[in-house]
Structure formats: structure tokens, C-alpha cells
Structure 1
């Protein structure tokens, strides 16, 4: 939730309103701002600032400050109001199109970084590492991301199966065991078949990971681990391409691959050196 929205939903005292006004009016001072300076500038106290932060959902001033700085960094990449569904105008020059797409992709990565949950990444990494087999359920553009992830995993001696290939989604879903891992990649989570399979897998005790923008969906309710990306593409009707969502998916999958690689870092490096020599 944006800072202004948090303020709108909170019942603030007069001193807390002064604190909020100072923060909003002085974004450039955030990085060097201390609780003492903020208290002095707003005629409040350290305790008042801590209560203010608590009221908005933070554990204290330091946590609030870090999150606000991160949010400001995100805003740096939204130099223009770029519509993720239609990110450039019909009369845009090639240079302007290139700039708009660059800013959109930067924004997608930066905002996705804000959604990174270290505990969820750790748990997903462990499930994939321990699994005897990995089945990836994805379709459309998300299947392209899944195939790229699959290709990376081959390099560390893991051979996931794209469950949707050759129309064998239901068959592959029925063959999973609790020793395997199911990985659903879906931005909208609207596939009725995926939801049916996920319910069956949960009942069978099969570990399930979901990468999505809609964590509160029915598919999310049947997942053991949810990796969430921002929901930037809102319109279902008018969309040039899935620029933002697939950039976000690529980013999270690259993070996930890197954490898997790191577990056997030396072994994977040695394997890569062998592959490099053989390809020369």
C-alpha cells in the first residue's frame, strides 16, 4: 500500500499529521533523516514518531524509513506515467518507444524486488532442490518463461518437466507424488484445469509453488509457497503485449535459479567449466 493510502486509512493525531506532512514534503531528506531530526522538525518526540510508525504497520522508525526510501527508488523509474498495457503512443519515435519500454521493464523489476519475500524464496528453493521431479504448469507467455527457467536448471543437472507440453497436463498432474514438486506459473490464475489439479495435489500431499500476481486466488489457497509479483497489467481487453508481467516473472525466476545454483556453488561452477571446455 502506498504511504498516502496508509495515511488516509489511519486516524492521525495533530502531531502525527505534522510528522506525515514533513515526510511527504521532504522526500530528498529521507536517507539522512534521523528520528531526532524528525522529532525536532515536527515539534514532537521520538516516542510519538515510533507510535506513528506502529500505527501505519511498521515496527519502528528505522523500518518505516527503509520502506519509504525503497518506495522512492521505485518512483525514480516511473519518470512518466507509462501504461503497462499500452506503454507507448501511436506517434512515438523509435527513441521514445525504446525509452518507454526501458522504463517499463525497469519499473517491473524494481517493483518486483519490493515483493521479494526471503522466507518464501528460501522455502521454494528447498522444495525444488529436494524434489525428485519438478513439474512446471504454465501456458501462453508464461510457458515461454517456464521453458527459459527449465533451460537454466538443465545447467545444474535438474531436468524439470513442462507439464503442459503435448496436452498432457492432466496426466502429468495425476502422476505427481509427495516426493515431487509442482510449480505453477500464472499471472491471472484463471485456468479451471490448473485449479482442479492444484486441489488434487494438495489433497495428495504434493508440495506446490505458485508464481503469480494474484496471491489471494483459489490457486493461491492450494499452494504451499507463493512467490508474488506486482499486478501492473490490469486490463484484460486492451494489451499490446505482456511486457511487465513477463519481465517480473523472469526476474523472480532468475533469483530462484540463482539461489538453487548457490546451494552447490562450487560443484556447479566446476560443471560449468567442463561445459565451457567441451563447447570450445
Structure 2
């Protein structure tokens, strides 16, 4: 076999690259897996960073970035980087451009207004991204799975906790039986021990993943209790144990990430579950 025949087919765009990474993730060496996880978690950084800065953030050598690119058919890292830059150009809307103009106009607006506009722009990017990422069929399967449950266990910690907390509030108003996992008295394991295969769980965790949430989701899945999850990467521990999982990558402003897209997804899921149960 010649070298040309052995060279892997180069992905034509970001979506094709992402699909290829997910398809091969179990075959990747440890360091390439580390780069893959970083790239899918931080696509904007890959688009704008230098090889040196990206390698530092991903905790690998710059040569590892080159090996990663070549593994997927590129001649070098710059070729792969072009896919990430093209992704941003394709997703840029005129509305986003207007918001960026406001954000950068520091002469006519107070600093606090610039911060507000920055977070507004980030929220818009986040919602636009998750709108394109969520597969309608997968969403319908998740709604059906959770709507059939006797009780829905809501698992989240740290930054993710406001999502499950608000879902619990909304489920209460909608008369859907749920249990918020996050007790002040530390009885979470005892609470989860009461779950049966007639129940289901919705888990949320973002990088750096809360080990408690991952362990609780794995425990339920091992007992044949279906888990649906919201996370930010195919390399998340929640993805491995979930019947259905969804990826949301929240854009940041000055290093701060909001929960705009995550909350929108969670409320759509909550109301859809209640509506399906009402029609049943």
C-alpha cells in the first residue's frame, strides 16, 4: 500500500472533523485524546490561538498538535486550524456583528454597559450554537424517555446546579414528580438508592466535571435506570453512561461563562416532558 493510499481522508469542514473524532475517540493515543477533548471543548481557542498557546492550554507539546492534525489527514496544524476558523465565519450573523461593535465601542459607553453587551453577545452565540447542535430526533427520544418515568432524578453540582434547581421548581408547578439530588444533609446516595428502572435521571455537568455527578449517573445507569444528560463534550464522563446526551458549549465573555443556552435547553425539555405526559 502506498503512502498516498494510507493517508486518512481529510475532513472537509468542522462538523465532519467532529464526527470523525467521535468515531475514532476510543482508538486515539492518550495525548491525542487530550488534544481532541480540548479542541471540541474550546473550538474558538483553536481558531484564534497560536500552536504554542494552544499547546500550553491543552497541556501538551506543540508537536502533539501537529501529530493530531496529521492523524486526521492534514499536512500540519495550520490546515486543521482553518476548519475551526471557517466554523466561526459560517456562524457569524449580522446581529452578532452589531453586538460586537457595541462591545468594542468604549468611547461612547460606560464600562458596565460594555460588559452587559459582551455577555449579551456571548449568550446569543451560545443559543445559536446549541440550536444547530441539538438533533430533533434525539431530543424527542429524551423527552419520551423522561416523560415515562415515575420520578425524574435531577443530578447537578457546582455551576450546573442552578439548571437542575430551576427544573425542579418548574416540574413542581407542572405536577411532574421529580427529586432534586443535592441535599444539604448529604443524603444523596440514600436518595438515589430508592430509584428503580421505572424512574429516570437527568444529569448536567460541565468541564471540569463534578466527580460526584459522574459517579451518581454511572451508578444509576449500572442499575438499568435510564440517564439523559447535558454536558459540553463527547469526552465528558456523562456521555459514556447516558441513553441520550446533548452537547452545549457556552460562549464566554472575559473568561466568564453564562448558562444561557443550557437554561433554554433545560426549560424546553421540562415543558416538553410535561406536555407529553398531559397528552398521554
TM-score (norm 1): 0.59
> Structure 1 residues 194-203 or 114-123, which shifts more?
194-203
**1:274 corresponds to which residue?**
none
**2:125 corresponds to which residue?**
107
CA deviation after TM superposition for structure 1 residue 187, in Å: 1.3
Change (3 A) 1:217 1:6: closer
Work out whether residues 125 and 251 of structure 2, in 8 Å CA contact, stay in contact via their aligned partners in 1.
no
Q: What is the alpha-carbon distance in structure 2 between the residues aligned to residue 7 and residue 123 of structure 1?
A: 24
Q: Pick from 138, 158, 167: which aligns with 1:149? A: 167
**1:255 corresponds to which residue?**
268
CA deviation after TM superposition for structure 1 residue 225, in Å: 0.9
Change (3 A) 1:257 1:81: same
**1:130 corresponds to which residue?**
148
The residue correspondences of 1:32-71 to structure 2 (distance < 5 A) are none
Q: What is the alpha-carbon distance in structure 1 between the residues aligned to residue 247 and residue 164 of structure 2?
A: 16
- 2:228 match: secondary structure: strand
1:239-267: CA deviations, max 9, x gaps? 4x432xx1121011122123224325689
The residue correspondences of 1:1-80 to structure 2 (distance < 5 A) are 72=90, 74-79=92-97
**1:213 corresponds to which residue?**
232
CA deviation after TM superposition for structure 1 residue 98, in Å: 2.3
**1:198 corresponds to which residue?**
217
Q: Tell me whether 1:181 sits opposite 2:200 in the alignment.
A: yes
Gaps of 5+ in 2: 1-10, 19-85
- 1:165 match: secondary structure: coil
Q: What is the alpha-carbon distance in structure 1 between the residues aligned to residue 12 and residue 120 of structure 2?
A: 26
1:11-48: CA deviations, max 9, x gaps? xxxxxxxxxxxxxxxxxxxxxxxxxxxxxxxxxxxxxx
Q: What is the alpha-carbon distance in structure 2 between the residues aligned to residue 205 and residue 8 of structure 1?
A: 33
**2:182 corresponds to which residue?**
164
Change (3 A) 1:97 1:147: same
Gaps of 5+ in 1: 10-67, 268-280
**1:228 corresponds to which residue?**
247
- 1:79 match: secondary structure: helix
**2:26 corresponds to which residue?**
none
TM-score (norm 2): 0.59
Work out whether residues 197 and 226 of structure 2, in 8 Å CA contact, stay in contact via their aligned partners in 1.
yes
Work out whether residues 189 and 217 of structure 1, in 8 Å CA contact, stay in contact via their aligned partners in 2.
no
- 2:97 match: secondary structure: coil
For the aligned residue pairs, the C-alpha RMSD in angstroms reads: 3.7
1:118-154: CA deviations, max 9, x gaps? 1221111112211111111111231112111111112
Work out whether residues 105 and 247 of structure 1, in 8 Å CA contact, stay in contact via their aligned partners in 2.
yes
For these two proteins, the number of residue pairs brought into alignment is: 197
CA deviation after TM superposition for structure 1 residue 207, in Å: 0.6
